[in-house]
Amino acid sequence: MARILIIDDDQSILESLEMYFVEKGHTIGKAATGRVGLELFRRQKPDIVILDIRLPDESGMELLKQMQDLDPISKVIMITAFQDMKSIIDSMKEGAYDYIQKPLDIDEVERVVNQALQVLEVDRETAGYEEIGPMADQDVIVGASDKMRQIFKMIGLLCRNTTTVLIQGETGTGKELVARSIHLNSPYHGEPFVVLDCSSIVETLIESELFGHEKGAFTGAGQAKPGKIELAGRGTLFLDEIGELPLSLQSKFLGFLQRREYMRIGGQTTLQSNCRIIAATNRDLSGLVQKGQFKEDLYYRLRVVTLDMPPLRERVSDIPELVNHFLQKITAEFGSGPIKLQKGVLERLTAHSWVGNVRELENVLVEAAVRAQGKVILLEEIDRILVSKRGKAEEEPGDHSLPRVEKKHIENILASVEGNRTRAARILGISLPTLRSKIQKYRIVSD
């Protein structure tokens, strides 16, 4: 059981919280002033502090800073009857574990205390945790599975020449990373690596982006501009989402690949380029060829060598190494101490389907790290993020069954009262235990 220190000048809050948590088996200390509270903090070394932000003799915010200096592992939960943006931001910035508004909902207080204790447990288990060293090269490709070893072999072979390469794979599998790796490990690694995302530029501008234009070539062309081919020089031009290249431009680009010559829009001079072309797509180009949406000649010109990037679900054994890599990267970018994982998190991440592949995994870890209090990523938080990301995609629009409607109604009520279960139960006309039971039954995620 935990040692909990409650600091509040409201005697009723001191007594009610003391009674509640003593019944749960915790050891309680209490103080009505900041001075007494700080003295008890020094003597009792509590696991959890429930601290009022406004005290008669001292600011709770100042007390929070002093407690963080004395024991940064102890978790401080701020409470206040005066909720405003600045106090919430300042509290969390100064290291508070959480921030709860009065009147207190005991379910919310207990939930936050229990969550803080989970974080505290991980903190203590890893007290001797070594600082993560310098972040690995951002361009490194992580993986030791058989499929990734085959990719690495092909990268090694492709580094020796300037052959055109087509990289195929689902969104988020790391196609651009592979293209960069081919470039950086080649003899021309000192030359530019230029990226053109064919899906992000409107059709009327993509020709100019690719080939460049002369001054006055079209309305708005106030000055001459080199295209991506020209900017790549003797380096690499990476064409992402090549399947989105307009059909009207495909013939002109095919001509460039065949002759290695081109002209800027509005230009009279023929320019030459020896840049390497690496294209990538998440679409079935052969299928587009059959539909007449992609030129067959261009397709075969691009796929001189083809690399097929495996989705993450086909290389699950790489997930632990990927997680470690991303946590190093996040730690370096956040400028913080090492981020730790609660037991069970890695297993949960490994079991997930990862429709968005490696990119989705990284995004989930970044969000979890931002939300992490005490620099510990909890299994509960990972579950919350994964459920929220898949929720709408998995809903059945035509499902109007009573359980589905009831679940949605409870979710809407909880959202309207910002997760306050006591108020939600009152609005729904049911008891708090009944609401808890339904939340558990329907696996409703509420703050």
Mean pLDDT of the chain: 88
- Least confident interval from 228-232, 278-282, 298-302, 334-338: 334-338
Residue 332, pLDDT score? 85
Residue 401, pLDDT score? 57
Q: How confident is the model at residue 415 (pLDDT cuts 50, 70, 90)?
A: confident
| 355: nearest Cα among 393, 412, 308 | 393
Average pLDDT over residues 61-71: 93
CB count within 10 Å of CB 179 equals 26
Q: How confident is the model at residue 396 (pLDDT cuts 50, 70, 90)?
A: very low
Burial class (CB in 10 A: 0-12, 13-18, 19+), 398: exposed
| 103: nearest Cα among 77, 130, 131, 83 | 83
Residue 374, pLDDT score? 67
Residue 413, pLDDT score? 80
Residue 390, pLDDT score? 65
Average pLDDT over residues 11-17: 94
Sequence-distant (≥ 6) Cβ neighbours of residue 156 within 8 angstroms = 185
Average pLDDT over residues 60-88: 89
Residue 229 has pLDDT above 90, yes or no: yes
Query: Residues 104, 13: contact at Cβ < 8 Å?
Result: yes
Residue 50 has pLDDT above 60, yes or no: yes
All structural domains of the chain, each given as residue ranges with its CATH number in brackets, are 3-125 (3.40.50.2300), 146-309 (3.40.50.300), 395-447 (1.10.10.60)
Within a 13 Å sphere around the CA of 60, how many CA atoms are in the beta-carbon half? 28
Report CA-CA distances (Å) from 94 to 65, 72, 416: 7, 11, 29
Q: Is-cis flag, bond preceding 103, omega within 30?
A: yes
Residue 139 has pLDDT above 80, yes or no: no
Residue 333 has pLDDT above 90, yes or no: no
Of 91 and 182, the one with more pLDDT: 182
Outline where 159-280 has alpha helix (H). 175-184, 203-211, 228-232, 247-259
Residue 370, pLDDT score? 87
Average pLDDT over residues 38-54: 95
Residue 339, pLDDT score? 85
Average pLDDT over residues 82-91: 80
CA 447 – CA 444 distance, rounded (Å) = 10
One-character DSSP codes across 10-37: -HHHHHHHHHHHHHTT-EEEEESSHHHH
Residue 136 has pLDDT above 60, yes or no: no
State which H helix or E strand residue 196 sits in: strand 193-197
Chain centre distance of CA 253? 36
Q: Which two tokens stand for residue 2?
A: 């935990």
**Strand 271-272 and strand 261-262: pairing?**
antiparallel
Sequence-distant (≥ 6) Cβ neighbours of residue 59 within 8 angstroms = 34, 53
Q: Report pLDDT digits (tens) over 175-202.
A: 999 999 999 999 999 999 999 999 988 8
The pTM for the full model equals: 0.73
Sequence-distant (≥ 6) Cβ neighbours of residue 100 within 8 angstroms = 77, 78, 79, 108, 109, 112
Q: How confident is the model at residue 228 (pLDDT cuts 50, 70, 90)?
A: very high
Residue 129 has pLDDT above 70, yes or no: no
Burial class (CB in 10 A: 0-12, 13-18, 19+), 145: middle
Q: Report pLDDT digits (tens) over 247-291.
A: 989 999 999 999 999 999 999 999 999 999 999 999 999 999 999
SS3 193: strand
Residue 418 has pLDDT above 80, yes or no: no
Sequence-distant (≥ 6) Cβ neighbours of residue 357 within 8 angstroms = 170, 171, 172, 173, 174, 311, 312
Residue 347, pLDDT score? 92
